[in-house]
Amino acid sequence: MIQRTVPQFGNLMFDRDAIVRASMRAYVEALFGNIPLRRLSFPASAGGVWTGDFRRGAVCNYDGCGDNEVIAWTETGVVGLAFELGFGPMEQLGLLPSAVTRGPDDVRGAVPGLPPELEPAFVMASGMLADGPEYLEKMASAGLWLYGEQVGGSMFDDPTGPGVRQLAAWGLLRGGRLWPLSAFFCGPNERAIVVEQARKEAHIHAIIDAVTDRALQGPTQFTAEEIATLIPKPPKPADLAYAQETLAKVGITWPSSPEIPPEAR
Protein backbone atom coordinates (compact mmCIF):
# COMPACT_ATOMS: atom_id res chain seq x y z
CA MET A 1 0.00 0.00 0.00
CA ILE A 2 1.20 3.48 -0.82
CA GLN A 3 -0.19 6.88 0.10
CA ARG A 4 -0.07 10.08 -1.90
CA THR A 5 -1.47 13.40 -0.77
CA VAL A 6 -3.00 15.42 -3.58
CA PRO A 7 -4.53 18.75 -2.53
CA GLN A 8 -7.51 18.30 -4.83
CA PHE A 9 -8.38 14.89 -3.32
CA GLY A 10 -6.67 14.65 0.06
CA ASN A 11 -4.97 11.39 1.04
CA LEU A 12 -5.10 8.74 -1.66
CA MET A 13 -4.28 5.15 -0.65
CA PHE A 14 -3.39 2.71 -3.42
CA ASP A 15 -3.15 -1.02 -2.76
CA ARG A 16 -2.94 -3.68 -5.46
CA ASP A 17 -5.06 -6.34 -3.72
CA ALA A 18 -7.68 -3.82 -2.60
CA ILE A 19 -7.98 -2.52 -6.15
CA VAL A 20 -8.45 -6.02 -7.58
CA ARG A 21 -11.12 -6.78 -5.00
CA ALA A 22 -12.89 -3.47 -5.62
CA SER A 23 -12.70 -4.05 -9.39
CA MET A 24 -14.56 -7.31 -9.09
CA ARG A 25 -17.05 -5.86 -6.63
CA ALA A 26 -17.80 -2.93 -8.95
CA TYR A 27 -18.33 -5.36 -11.82
CA VAL A 28 -20.86 -7.38 -9.80
CA GLU A 29 -22.46 -4.25 -8.35
CA ALA A 30 -23.05 -2.83 -11.83
CA LEU A 31 -25.19 -5.84 -12.70
CA PHE A 32 -27.52 -5.19 -9.76
CA GLY A 33 -27.33 -1.41 -9.96
CA ASN A 34 -28.61 -0.93 -13.47
CA ILE A 35 -31.58 -1.89 -15.62
CA PRO A 36 -32.99 -4.53 -15.83
CA LEU A 37 -31.87 -5.88 -12.41
CA ARG A 38 -31.79 -2.50 -10.71
CA ARG A 39 -31.55 -2.91 -6.93
CA LEU A 40 -29.09 -0.13 -6.05
CA SER A 41 -29.59 3.60 -6.43
CA PHE A 42 -26.00 4.70 -7.04
CA PRO A 43 -23.77 1.96 -8.46
CA ALA A 44 -20.13 2.89 -8.95
CA SER A 45 -20.37 1.88 -12.61
CA ALA A 46 -23.12 1.99 -15.22
CA GLY A 47 -21.68 -1.15 -16.73
CA GLY A 48 -18.46 -3.10 -16.91
CA VAL A 49 -16.44 -5.40 -19.14
CA TRP A 50 -14.24 -8.02 -17.48
CA THR A 51 -11.29 -9.96 -18.81
CA GLY A 52 -8.81 -12.35 -17.21
CA ASP A 53 -8.78 -13.39 -13.58
CA PHE A 54 -7.67 -12.19 -10.14
CA ARG A 55 -3.99 -12.71 -10.90
CA ARG A 56 -3.94 -11.04 -14.32
CA GLY A 57 -7.02 -9.25 -15.49
CA ALA A 58 -8.77 -5.98 -16.17
CA VAL A 59 -12.13 -4.29 -15.88
CA CYS A 60 -13.47 -1.40 -17.94
CA ASN A 61 -16.10 0.70 -16.16
CA TYR A 62 -18.53 2.94 -18.04
CA ASP A 63 -20.48 5.85 -16.59
CA GLY A 64 -23.23 5.81 -19.22
CA CYS A 65 -22.36 9.33 -20.42
CA GLY A 66 -19.29 8.65 -22.54
CA ASP A 67 -16.57 8.44 -19.88
CA ASN A 68 -14.82 5.27 -18.82
CA GLU A 69 -11.76 3.93 -17.05
CA VAL A 70 -9.81 0.71 -17.32
CA ILE A 71 -8.03 -0.86 -14.37
CA ALA A 72 -5.63 -3.70 -15.23
CA TRP A 73 -3.46 -5.76 -12.93
CA THR A 74 -0.85 -8.49 -12.85
CA GLU A 75 0.92 -10.06 -9.91
CA THR A 76 3.32 -7.12 -10.11
CA GLY A 77 1.04 -4.12 -9.90
CA VAL A 78 -1.72 -2.04 -11.44
CA VAL A 79 -2.20 0.28 -14.41
CA GLY A 80 -5.21 2.56 -14.80
CA LEU A 81 -6.26 4.56 -17.87
CA ALA A 82 -9.23 6.92 -17.87
CA PHE A 83 -11.05 8.71 -20.67
CA GLU A 84 -13.22 11.79 -20.31
CA LEU A 85 -15.39 12.63 -23.28
CA GLY A 86 -13.80 15.24 -25.53
CA PHE A 87 -10.27 14.78 -24.14
CA GLY A 88 -8.39 12.05 -25.93
CA PRO A 89 -4.63 11.56 -26.31
CA MET A 90 -4.37 14.24 -29.00
CA GLU A 91 -5.89 16.83 -26.70
CA GLN A 92 -4.24 15.68 -23.47
CA LEU A 93 -1.16 13.58 -24.18
CA GLY A 94 0.45 15.32 -27.14
CA LEU A 95 -0.27 12.54 -29.63
CA LEU A 96 0.05 13.65 -33.25
CA PRO A 97 -2.17 12.18 -35.97
CA SER A 98 0.95 11.01 -37.80
CA ALA A 99 2.08 9.09 -34.70
CA VAL A 100 -1.11 7.07 -34.19
CA THR A 101 -0.35 3.35 -33.91
CA ARG A 102 -3.83 2.16 -32.84
CA GLY A 103 -2.02 0.44 -30.01
CA PRO A 104 -0.52 1.04 -26.55
CA ASP A 105 1.90 3.75 -27.69
CA ASP A 106 -1.04 6.05 -28.44
CA VAL A 107 -1.59 6.48 -24.69
CA ARG A 108 1.92 5.90 -23.32
CA GLY A 109 2.03 9.57 -22.41
CA ALA A 110 -0.53 8.82 -19.68
CA VAL A 111 1.95 6.65 -17.75
CA PRO A 112 5.28 8.51 -17.60
CA GLY A 113 7.94 6.55 -15.76
CA LEU A 114 6.09 3.25 -16.19
CA PRO A 115 8.28 0.44 -14.79
CA PRO A 116 9.05 -2.23 -17.41
CA GLU A 117 7.50 -4.84 -15.13
CA LEU A 118 4.11 -3.18 -15.63
CA GLU A 119 4.21 -3.30 -19.42
CA PRO A 120 1.91 -6.38 -19.59
CA ALA A 121 -0.70 -4.60 -17.46
CA PHE A 122 -0.37 -1.47 -19.58
CA VAL A 123 -0.86 -3.42 -22.79
CA MET A 124 -3.90 -5.15 -21.32
CA ALA A 125 -5.39 -1.84 -20.16
CA SER A 126 -4.83 -0.04 -23.44
CA GLY A 127 -6.35 -2.95 -25.32
CA MET A 128 -9.68 -2.34 -23.62
CA LEU A 129 -9.85 1.34 -24.55
CA ALA A 130 -12.22 2.60 -27.21
CA ASP A 131 -10.93 3.82 -30.56
CA GLY A 132 -11.11 7.43 -31.67
CA PRO A 133 -13.72 8.31 -34.30
CA GLU A 134 -11.34 9.62 -36.98
CA TYR A 135 -7.85 8.21 -36.51
CA LEU A 136 -8.80 5.11 -34.47
CA GLU A 137 -6.28 6.06 -31.80
CA LYS A 138 -6.71 4.51 -28.37
CA MET A 139 -8.70 6.93 -26.22
CA ALA A 140 -7.41 7.94 -22.79
CA SER A 141 -7.08 11.25 -20.98
CA ALA A 142 -5.07 10.32 -17.87
CA GLY A 143 -3.14 7.43 -16.39
CA LEU A 144 -2.05 5.81 -13.12
CA TRP A 145 0.41 3.06 -12.29
CA LEU A 146 1.21 1.25 -9.03
CA TYR A 147 4.33 -0.86 -8.54
CA GLY A 148 5.38 -1.94 -5.07
CA GLU A 149 5.96 1.24 -3.09
CA GLN A 150 5.99 3.39 -6.20
CA VAL A 151 3.07 5.17 -7.84
CA GLY A 152 2.96 7.46 -10.84
CA GLY A 153 1.06 8.56 -13.89
CA SER A 154 -0.09 11.73 -15.59
CA MET A 155 -2.84 12.18 -12.98
CA PHE A 156 -0.19 13.38 -10.54
CA ASP A 157 1.32 15.80 -13.05
CA ASP A 158 -2.06 17.39 -13.77
CA PRO A 159 -4.44 16.48 -10.93
CA THR A 160 -7.18 18.77 -12.26
CA GLY A 161 -7.09 17.28 -15.75
CA PRO A 162 -9.81 15.29 -17.51
CA GLY A 163 -10.18 11.71 -16.33
CA VAL A 164 -8.24 12.23 -13.11
CA ARG A 165 -11.26 12.05 -10.81
CA GLN A 166 -12.07 8.60 -12.16
CA LEU A 167 -8.60 7.38 -11.23
CA ALA A 168 -8.51 9.19 -7.90
CA ALA A 169 -11.61 7.24 -6.86
CA TRP A 170 -9.41 4.10 -6.79
CA GLY A 171 -7.33 5.75 -4.09
CA LEU A 172 -10.46 6.57 -2.11
CA LEU A 173 -11.84 3.06 -1.64
CA ARG A 174 -14.03 2.80 1.45
CA GLY A 175 -15.16 -0.47 2.98
CA GLY A 176 -13.44 -2.36 0.19
CA ARG A 177 -15.65 -0.84 -2.50
CA LEU A 178 -15.39 1.66 -5.30
CA TRP A 179 -17.83 4.50 -4.70
CA PRO A 180 -19.59 6.59 -7.35
CA LEU A 181 -17.86 9.88 -8.12
CA SER A 182 -20.80 11.76 -6.63
CA ALA A 183 -19.80 10.41 -3.20
CA PHE A 184 -16.63 12.53 -3.32
CA PHE A 185 -16.70 15.17 -6.00
CA CYS A 186 -20.18 16.68 -5.97
CA GLY A 187 -21.75 19.13 -3.54
CA PRO A 188 -22.54 18.20 0.08
CA ASN A 189 -26.23 17.61 -0.69
CA GLU A 190 -25.45 15.10 -3.44
CA ARG A 191 -22.86 13.36 -1.29
CA ALA A 192 -25.34 13.09 1.59
CA ILE A 193 -27.93 11.49 -0.71
CA VAL A 194 -25.45 8.87 -1.93
CA VAL A 195 -24.37 7.99 1.61
CA GLU A 196 -27.95 7.79 2.86
CA GLN A 197 -29.02 5.51 0.01
CA ALA A 198 -26.03 3.27 0.67
CA ARG A 199 -27.19 3.00 4.29
CA LYS A 200 -30.73 2.08 3.23
CA GLU A 201 -29.41 -0.49 0.77
CA ALA A 202 -26.81 -1.93 3.13
CA HIS A 203 -28.40 -5.39 2.96
CA ILE A 204 -27.84 -5.48 -0.81
CA HIS A 205 -24.27 -4.26 -0.47
CA ALA A 206 -23.62 -6.89 2.22
CA ILE A 207 -24.59 -9.68 -0.20
CA ILE A 208 -22.36 -8.25 -2.93
CA ASP A 209 -19.50 -8.03 -0.43
CA ALA A 210 -20.04 -11.61 0.70
CA VAL A 211 -20.16 -13.14 -2.77
CA THR A 212 -17.14 -11.07 -3.86
CA ASP A 213 -15.06 -12.37 -0.97
CA ARG A 214 -16.16 -15.95 -1.65
CA ALA A 215 -15.35 -15.67 -5.35
CA LEU A 216 -11.86 -14.40 -4.58
CA GLN A 217 -11.24 -17.77 -2.90
CA GLY A 218 -12.65 -19.81 -5.79
CA PRO A 219 -15.86 -20.46 -7.75
CA THR A 220 -18.95 -19.80 -5.64
CA GLN A 221 -22.72 -19.65 -5.91
CA PHE A 222 -25.37 -17.31 -4.62
CA THR A 223 -27.50 -18.91 -1.96
CA ALA A 224 -31.26 -19.13 -2.41
CA GLU A 225 -31.68 -16.53 0.34
CA GLU A 226 -29.26 -14.14 -1.37
CA ILE A 227 -31.07 -14.49 -4.69
CA ALA A 228 -34.43 -13.89 -3.02
CA THR A 229 -33.09 -10.61 -1.59
CA LEU A 230 -31.30 -9.48 -4.73
CA ILE A 231 -34.04 -10.41 -7.17
CA PRO A 232 -37.40 -10.73 -5.40
CA LYS A 233 -39.21 -10.94 -8.75
CA PRO A 234 -38.01 -13.54 -11.29
CA PRO A 235 -36.30 -11.76 -14.20
CA LYS A 236 -37.15 -12.29 -17.83
CA PRO A 237 -35.34 -15.29 -19.38
CA ALA A 238 -33.11 -13.04 -21.50
CA ASP A 239 -32.19 -10.93 -18.49
CA LEU A 240 -31.47 -14.02 -16.43
CA ALA A 241 -29.24 -15.45 -19.16
CA TYR A 242 -27.32 -12.17 -19.37
CA ALA A 243 -26.84 -12.06 -15.61
CA GLN A 244 -25.64 -15.65 -15.51
CA GLU A 245 -23.16 -15.06 -18.35
CA THR A 246 -21.88 -11.86 -16.71
CA LEU A 247 -21.30 -13.47 -13.32
CA ALA A 248 -19.76 -16.64 -14.72
CA LYS A 249 -16.82 -14.55 -15.96
CA VAL A 250 -15.81 -13.95 -12.35
CA GLY A 251 -16.60 -17.42 -11.09
CA ILE A 252 -20.08 -16.77 -9.65
CA THR A 253 -23.18 -18.81 -10.36
CA TRP A 254 -26.65 -19.16 -8.92
CA PRO A 255 -29.09 -22.07 -9.03
CA SER A 256 -29.75 -23.04 -12.67
CA SER A 257 -26.68 -21.21 -13.95
CA PRO A 258 -24.62 -22.98 -16.59
CA GLU A 259 -21.28 -24.44 -15.52
CA ILE A 260 -18.54 -21.87 -14.92
CA PRO A 261 -16.21 -21.71 -17.93
CA PRO A 262 -12.65 -22.95 -17.28
CA GLU A 263 -11.07 -19.51 -17.83
CA ALA A 264 -13.06 -18.10 -14.88
CA ARG A 265 -11.88 -20.74 -12.43
- pLDDT per residue over 119-178, tens digit each? 999 999 999 999 999 999 999 999 999 999 999 999 999 999 999 999 999 999 998 999
76 assigned to some structural domain? yes
pLDDT band at residue 43, thresholds of 50, 70 and 90?
very high
Q: Is the same domain home to 181 and 234?
A: no
Pick the last residue of a domain from 125, 154, 186: 186
| Cα distance between residue 85 and residue 89, in whole Å | 11
pLDDT band at residue 256, thresholds of 50, 70 and 90?
low
Q: Is the same domain home to 126 and 250?
A: no
Q: Is the same domain home to 134 and 57?
A: yes
Q: Is the same domain home to 182 and 206?
A: no
8 assigned to some structural domain? yes
CA Rg value for the chain:
18
219 assigned to some structural domain? yes
Q: Is the same domain home to 209 and 96?
A: no
22 assigned to some structural domain? yes
197 assigned to some structural domain? no
Rounded to the nearest 10°, the torsion over CA 185, 123, 96, 81 is 0
218 assigned to some structural domain? yes
Q: Is the same domain home to 102 and 229?
A: no
Q: Which domain range does residue 207 map to? A: 202-264
Q: How many domains does the chain have?
A: 2
pLDDT digits (tens, 9 = 90+) for 87-114: 999 999 999 999 999 999 999 999 999 9
